[in-house]
Amino acid sequence: IRYSPAVIGEGVVGPDGQPRSYYKYWSPRAQQSMADHVAGLLKLYRGNHGEVRIGGEERLPICSMWDPVAAPSFDEDGIGRYRCFLRERYGRIEALNERYGASLADFDRLDPQTYWQREPVTAADSAKRTPAFWKHVDNLLYLQWELERYFKAMRGKLHAVEGKLLLMPNLSQWS
């Protein structure tokens, strides 16, 4: 699945401007494709699946591709989302400039070359807390930020499909 294009939802764009094989999980179109996928599974397997009881309630456990592997997008939409994340994280551009060794006037001046760490972070970077280290930390925290928002959005969408769904993010389908 990681090597296939986003065939129903909306995909991300790589730093080279080319489409990548990951969904844009903040996209309403991608989220709806995931909800439709789960609705289709429930229709297909209704009456032929297990239920569990949690706190006396019957729940329907499901593992489907609604559990994502987040990826950045380097189009205007993705850049805007990353800038939003950094605004929330740092609050002031001066704080980001200090960490990144930059001298940007505001968050809107950030571009992927400034914020996305492409080179491997070395042990020395980690020990010295270099700008490369902080960019890498922020890159990972951004992916977590996107996943948290995605899971919150999908919880509502999937419970609208079936209120008894037991939703627990599970990436085991790729292990």
pLDDT tens string, the chain, 175 residues long: the values are: 445 555 567 889 999 999 988 888 899 988 888 888 889 888 888 788 788 999 999 998 877 655 567 899 999 999 999 999 999 999 999 999 999 999 999 999 999 999 999 999 999 999 999 999 999 999 999 999 998 999 899 999 999 999 999 887 665 544 4
Identify the pLDDT of residue 117.
95
State the alpha helices, DSSP H only, in 46-121: 76-90, 93-100, 112-115
pLDDT of residue 1: 44
Task: Pick the closest to residue 35 from 58, 61, 9, 57 (CA basis).
Answer: 9
Residues 107 and 86: beta-carbon distance below 8 Å: yes
Instruction: Supply the pLDDT for residue 87.
Output: 98
Answer yes or no: are the C-beta atoms of 105 and 81 closer than 8 Å.
no
Angle 75-81-82 from CA coordinates, rounded to 5°: 90
Other C-beta atoms within 10 Å of 67: how many?
Answer: 20
Q: In the prediction, which pLDDT does 175 show?
A: 45
Cβ neighbors of 5 (< 8 A, separation 6 or more) are 11, 19, 21
Q: What's the predicted TM-score (pTM) here?
A: 0.86
